[in-house]
Amino acid sequence: MNTYIRIINKHIANQKIPKDYGIGILLHPSEIHTIAMIGLNPGINCMKLSKKMGVTRGATSQIVNRLEKKNLISKYKKEDNKKEVYLKLEELGLIAYQNQKTIGDKFYKDLYKKVEGASQNEIEFLENIFKELEYFVDMRMNNGGNDD
C-alpha cells in the first residue's frame, strides 16, 4: 500500500509540471495526453474522448479549448452530423504527438521487457490488481472522497 501511495503522489506531482515536446510550447500532462489520444483516434468526438481518458466532459472541454487556442488541435463538424464536434491534430499538435510517442516509447521500453518476461498468470494478476485499484478509486471519487 505504501508503494501505491508513493506512486500516486509522484504522479500527482508530475501532473503539475509542463514540458516542451519540441514545439516551443509548454504542455501540461493532461494536454499532451489529450493530444496523444486524438493522435491515436483521429476524428474522435469529445464524448468518446472523455470516456477514453476517464474524465468528465467538462474537463475534456476545458483541455480541448486550451489546445485549440494554442493551435494544436481543431474542432470540426461532419456534413452528416452537424451536432457532434470532432477533433483533429494540427501541424504543431502532430509534432508534439510524435515527439511524445518517441519519449514514451523510450520510457516504457524497460517496463515492456519486464512484462514480456512475465507468465500469462502474472499478467492476468496485474491486470486484475489494476482493475481493482481503478474500481476503488472510482468508488472513492463517487463517494466524494470519503473513506467511509
User: What pLDDT, in 10s, does the model give residues 82-128?
Assistant: 888 999 999 999 999 999 999 888 878 878 887 888 899 998 998 99
Q: Evaluate if residue 146 carries a pLDDT over 60.
A: no
Distance in angstroms (rounded) separating the CA atoms of residues 86 and 75? 6
Non-local CB neighbours of 85 within 8 Å, separated by 6+ positions: 45, 46, 75, 76, 77
Type and span of the H or E element at 147 = none
**What are the residue boundaries of the structural domains of the chain, listed by start?**
2-102
Q: Evaluate if residue 142 carries a pLDDT over 60.
A: yes
Q: Evaluate if residue 48 carries a pLDDT over 70.
A: yes
| pLDDT averaged over every residue in the chain | 90
Q: Which three cell numbers stand for residue 94?
A: 502532430
What's the predicted TM-score (pTM) here? 0.72
CATH topology of domain 2-102: Arc Repressor Mutant, subunit A (1.10.10)
- pLDDT score for 117: 85
For residue 73, what are the β-bridge partners?
89
